[in-house]
């Protein structure tokens, strides 16, 4: 365990760790573009130069292993001047188009320029022209002129996704990132390249031109896209949610997340949600306050408790399951509680990196709660019960992340065999609004609007906090359970009058999920 001194701070690092890692550990600032802790060392941006006592030449921190007693600084005038010039080399051919660049506000070049800018440009020659608006694939657009050729994205596709679609072609200042025509950047992790791009070269088709990043707030949470439970940050403002990015967690997702998970935000926004309680009967639809609707259901459940069954998806928190199951069991003695498994065939699959076939964040949590209450519902019994009409009222806590329940409509049809289908859920499910049988819909809150616990596929409990509220009237499953059991909420729901969120304005050029999946949104490709 060698000790070294970084800008005067003593720090101990593991054998074989680099000066860069020592900088990270001391939290001393060090400029770098090509180094990324999740990728191999490239050593090409040359920004992380630092002085090592006794070494006449500056060394790069990312490729120099710490030895005992090493004294390192990047605060000397020599180094500062060096970094200034290296940064200038990065900028001489950069288009400086920050006003129209999506990365502005979170750009490595901007950040470093504040500290190391030359502020006196000496480049008087024409800049190198490169390809712009290059369509790399269904998710990513490239602007070669903005690219600093740090090679992070290339290393990502080589080392992490192992798909190797990207390369750096040509040499010298003609070098450009690119794909070979006919083989697009198209893998399940492609958007990580956008995250790790330190500049505005790679932008997400989904996010580009939609929001200035300084108008976004962010909040850490756990992705509900599958049972891996990647740690993520959701970005939002009053207009809604705009993107999801991974947050480092060594034990769960490392530095990465999948592209599918990045779509979860779309189901959080108002236009994809049930916003009010709905009762449909004989083709007549009435709206109701969600709390009032839940409370009214109490009478029916109590009266028909032997004919009531409950279906739960693995999309809710442990706390909610506990509230729901215990209230059903204890208040009403209902034990017909069933676990709705979506995509049965691929449920147990795992791609070896992050993606799991179980597209629910909390299947493990649900099973634990069911086991605790000794519930052993068999799906066949439910189907039989619906068929022979022994189940008259069916309460379904449906999927919040509608996108991962492919066979949703078939199931809605199945459930609709009950006399009264009580649907608890956040996501707008059109099929419910076309039913002839009676259906009551209680809009629920999504995972970002509540706190709770998910247990991921590895059995890890992950607690998360509330990020914001999109639909104030919506209930959590816990609140619904309380109201359905005839009790009152301690905090009345109608407390807040004004909705915090505006209607989500869908723009013409915005890439919607459906289009993206079909790859219909195609950019005009620059020829490479």
Partner 1 sequence: MLETAKATFQLSTEGLAEVKKELARYETKESAIIPSLYVAQKENKGFITTAVIHHLGQVMDIPVSKINEVFKFYTMFNQVPVGKHHVQVCTNISCALEGGRELTNHICHELGVKLGEVTADGRFSVSRVECLGSCGTAPMMQVNDKYYESLTPESAMNILRGMK
Partner 2 sequence: METKLLTEFYHLDEFRFLDGYKKHGGYVNLAKALKMQPQAIIDEVKNSGLRGRGGAGFSTGMKWSFLPKNNEPRYLVCNADEGEPGTFKDRLMMERAPHQLIEGMIISAFAVGSKKSYIYVRGEYYYPVEVLEQAVQEAYKAGLLGKNILGSGFDHDMDVYRGAGAYICGEETGLISSLEGQKGQPKLKPPFPAVKGYLQKPTIVNNVETLAAVKYIIRDGAAAYKKFGTEKSPGTKLFSLSGNVRKPGNYEVNLGYSLNDLINNEGGGMKPGRKLKAVIPGGSSAPVLTAEEAMKATLDYECLAQMGTMLGSGAVIVIDDSQCMVDMLGVLMHFYHHESCGQCTPCREGTGWLNKIVHSILEGKGRLQDIDLLVKVADNMKGRTICALSDAAALPVLSFVTKFRDEFEFYVREGRSKVRGSFYAQMHH
| Near partner 1 by CB under 8 A: residue from 170, 286, 410, 436 | 170
Dihedral (C-alpha) 186, 188, 189, 194: value to the nearest 10 degrees? 50
Dihedral (C-alpha) 410, 227, 428, 497: value to the nearest 10 degrees? 150
Select 77 or 181, whichever has its Cβ closest to partner 1.
Answer: 181
Instruction: Please tell me the distance from the alpha carbon of residue 82 to that of residue 88, in angstroms, as a whole number.
Output: 10
Look at the alpha carbons of 12, 15, 17, 18 in this order and tell me if their dihedral is positive or negative.
Answer: positive
Residue 439 pairs in a beta bridge with 280, 421
Query: How near is the Cβ of 176 to partner 1 at its closest, in Å?
Result: 9
Select 158 or 296, whichever has its Cβ closest to partner 1.
Answer: 158
Decide if 412 contacts 386 (C-beta within 8 A): no
| Near partner 1 by CB under 8 A: residue from 51, 165, 358, 479 | 165
353 contact, one of partner 1, partner 2, none, CB 5-8 Å limit per kind: none
41 contact, one of partner 2, partner 1, none, CB 5-8 Å limit per kind: partner 2
| Near partner 2 by CB under 8 A: residue from 100, 114, 124, 491 | 124
Does the protein bind partner 1 through residue 180 (CB under 8 A)? yes
Query: What does DSSP assign to residue 51?
Result: E
- With contacts defined by CB under 8 A, name the span among 77-85, 181-189, 219-227, 336-344 that binds partner 1: 181-189
Instruction: Please tell me the distance from the alpha carbon of residue 56 to that of residue 485, in angstroms, as a whole number.
Output: 76
Does the protein bind partner 2 through residue 182 (CB under 8 A)? no
Query: How near is the Cβ of 197 to partner 1 at its closest, in Å?
Result: 17
| Near partner 1 by CB under 8 A: residue from 41, 104, 128, 168 | 168
| Near partner 2 by CB under 8 A: residue from 2, 38, 43, 254 | 43
| Near partner 1 by CB under 8 A: residue from 15, 77, 122, 181 | 181
Does the protein bind partner 1 through residue 507 (CB under 8 A)? no
Does the protein bind partner 2 through residue 36 (CB under 8 A)? no
Residue with token string 């998710």: 139
As a whole number of angstroms, the longest Cα–Cα distance in the chain is 86
Instruction: Please tell me the distance from the alpha carbon of residue 246 to that of residue 227, in angstroms, as a whole number.
Output: 15
Does the protein bind partner 1 through residue 527 (CB under 8 A)? yes
Query: How near is the Cβ of 39 to partner 1 at its closest, in Å?
Result: 17
Nearest residue to 427 via CA among 235, 251, 270, 204: 270
248: tokens are 């480092």
Query: Please, what's the b/e burial string for 255-288 (b: 16 or more CB within 10 A of its CB; e: otherwise)?
Result: bbbbbbbbbbbbbbbbebbbbbbbbbeeeeeeeb
469: tokens are 């509220």
Decide if 320 contacts 478 (C-beta within 8 A): yes
Query: How near is the Cβ of 169 to partner 1 at its closest, in Å?
Result: 4
Element (DSSP H or E) covering residue 518: helix 513-518
Does the protein bind partner 2 through residue 170 (CB under 8 A)? yes
Q: How far is CA 58 from the centre of its chain?
A: 40
Q: How many chain residues bind partner 1 (CB under 8 A)?
A: 16
Q: Which residues contact 54 (CB under 8 A, 6 or more apart)?
A: none
- With contacts defined by CB under 8 A, name the span among 117-125, 229-237, 356-364, 389-397 that binds partner 2: 117-125
494 contact, one of partner 1, partner 2, none, CB 5-8 Å limit per kind: none
Strand runs labelled E in 81-228: 134-135, 140-142, 167-169, 176-178, 202-204, 217-222
- Letters for 134-163 (x = contact with partner 1 by CB under 8 A, - = none) are -----------------------x-----x
Does the protein bind partner 2 through residue 72 (CB under 8 A)? no
Does the protein bind partner 1 through residue 524 (CB under 8 A)? no
Does the protein bind partner 2 through residue 17 (CB under 8 A)? no
352 contact, one of partner 1, partner 2, none, CB 5-8 Å limit per kind: none
| Near partner 1 by CB under 8 A: residue from 18, 179, 231, 480 | 179
**CA 248, 232, 11 angle in degrees (round to 5)?**
20
Interface positions with partner 2 (CB under 8 A): 41-47, 49, 57-58, 63, 65, 82, 85-86, 89-90, 92-93, 122-126, 128, 148-149, 168, 170-175
Interface residues with partner 1 (CB under 8 A) are 157, 163-171, 179-183, 527
């Amino acid at each position: 365990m060698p000790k070294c001194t970084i800008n005067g701070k003593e720090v101990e690092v593991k054998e074989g760790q680099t000066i860069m890692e020592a900088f990270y550990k001391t939290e001393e600032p060090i400029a770098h573009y090509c180094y990324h802790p999740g990728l191999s060392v490239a050593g090409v941006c040359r920004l992380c130069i630092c002085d090592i006592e006794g070494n006449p030449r500056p060394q790069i921190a990312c490729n120099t292993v710490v030895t005992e007693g090493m004294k390192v600084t990047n605060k000397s005038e020599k180094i500062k001047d060096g970094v200034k010039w290296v940064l200038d080399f990065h900028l001489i051919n950069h288009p400086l188009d920050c006003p129209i660049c999506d990365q502005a506000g979170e750009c490595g070049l901007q950040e470093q320029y504040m500290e190391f800018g030359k502020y006196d440009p000496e480049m008087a020659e024409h800049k190198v022209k490169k390809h712009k608006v290059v369509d790399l694939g269904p998710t990513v657009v490239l602007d070669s002129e903005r690219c600093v050729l740090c090679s992070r994205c290339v290393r990502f596709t080589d080392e992490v996704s192992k798909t190797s679609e990207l390369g750096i072609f040509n040499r010298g200042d003609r070098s450009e990132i690119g794909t070979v025509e006919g083989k697009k950047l198209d893998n399940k992790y492609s958007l990580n390249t956008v995250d790790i791009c330190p500049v505005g070269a790679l932008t997400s088709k989904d996010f580009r031109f939609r929001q200035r990043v300084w108008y976004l707030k962010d909040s850490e949470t756990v992705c509900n896209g599958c049972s891996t439970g990647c740690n993520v940050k959701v970005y939002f403002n009053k207009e809604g949610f705009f993107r999801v990015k991974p947050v480092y967690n060594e034990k769960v997702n490392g530095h990465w997340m999948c592209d599918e998970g990045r779509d979860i935000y779309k189901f959080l926004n108002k236009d994809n949600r049930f916003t009010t309680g709905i009762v449909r009967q004989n083709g007549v639809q009435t709206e109701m306050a969600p709390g009032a609707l839940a409370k009214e259901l109490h009478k029916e459940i109590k009266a028909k408790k032997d004919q009531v069954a409950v279906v739960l998806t693995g999309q809710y928190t442990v706390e909610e399951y506990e509230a729901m199951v215990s209230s059903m069991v204890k208040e009403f003695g209902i034990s017909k509680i069933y676990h709705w498994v979506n995509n049965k065939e691929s449920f147990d699959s795992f791609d070896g990196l992050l993606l799991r076939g179980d597209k629910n964040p909390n299947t493990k949590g649900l099973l634990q709660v069911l086991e605790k209450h000794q519930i052993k519902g068999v799906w066949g019994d439910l189907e039989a019960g619906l068929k022979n009409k022994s189940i008259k009222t069916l309460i379904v806590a449906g999927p919040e992340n509608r996108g991962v329940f492919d066979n949703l409509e078939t199931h809605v049809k199945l459930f609709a065999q009950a006399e009264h289908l009580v649907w608890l859920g956040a996501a707008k499910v059109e099929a419910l609004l076309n039913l002839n049988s009676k259906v009551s819909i209680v809009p629920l809150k999504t995972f970002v609007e509540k706190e709770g616990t998910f247990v991921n596929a590895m059995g890890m409990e992950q607690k998360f906090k509330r990020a914001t509220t999109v639909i104030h009237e919506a209930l959590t499953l816990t609140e619904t359970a309380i109201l359905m059991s005839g009790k009152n909420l301690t905090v009345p729901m109608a407390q807040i009058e004004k909705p915090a969120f505006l209607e989500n304005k869908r723009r013409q050029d915005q890439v919607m999920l459906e289009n993206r999946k079909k790859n219909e949104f195609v950019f005009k490709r620059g020829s490479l």
